[in-house]
């Protein structure tokens, strides 16, 4: 009986090893596909092709982040930690710089539009 159970265990082990190899192959394939998709994405090209959409998206994201920040500040206590203040300041600066870039892009787009007329 022990030989029979030993054979069953060995067969089960082989099945599990084969299944594990299949899963590893599928994961490797998925990771490689994601890498190729990410490496082929060119944000600069997308921005150049659709500048107004990009500006609109960046304004929307800034607005939503600002709303979330306002909501968090209204529910937060006055004893906000220094780390939270630093993070808030950094996010504020990032949003401010993104808005400046967006406005500059819109200005450039409008200027190019009128130059073509």
pLDDT of residue 57: 84
Residue 1 has pLDDT above 70, yes or no: no
For the chain, what are the domain ranges? 1-41, 43-116
Average pLDDT rounded to a whole number, residues 73-97: 69
pLDDT of 91 > 70? The answer is yes
Mean pLDDT of 84-103: 80
Q: Do 85 and 35 contact (CB within 8 A), yes or no?
A: no
pLDDT tens for residues 45-82?
878 888 888 888 888 888 877 776 665 555 555 455 66
The answer to whether residue 20 scores a pLDDT higher than 80 is: yes
pTM above 0.95, yes or no: no
Q: How high is the pLDDT of residue 70? A: 61
Instruction: Specify the pLDDT at position 106.
Output: 81
Highest mean pLDDT among 13-17, 32-36, 78-82: 13-17
Q: pLDDT averaged over the chain?
A: 78
DSSP string, 40-91: H--HHHHHHH-HHHHHHHHHHHHHHHHHHHHHHHHHS-S---HHHHHHHHHH
């Amino acid at each position: 009986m022990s030989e029979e159970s030993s054979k069953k265990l060995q067969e089960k082990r082989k099945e599990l090893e084969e299944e594990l190899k299949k899963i590893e192959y599928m994961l490797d394939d998925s990771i490689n596909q994601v890498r190729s998709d990410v490496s082929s994405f060119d944000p600069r090209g997308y921005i150049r092709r659709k500048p107004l959409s990009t500006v609109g998206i960046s304004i929307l994201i800034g607005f939503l982040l600002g709303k979330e920040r306002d909501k968090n500040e209204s529910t937060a206590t006055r004893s906000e930690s220094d780390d939270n203040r630093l993070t808030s300041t950094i996010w504020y600066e990032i949003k401010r710089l993104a808005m400046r870039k967006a406005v500059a892009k819109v200005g450039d787009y409008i200027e190019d539009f009128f130059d073509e007329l």
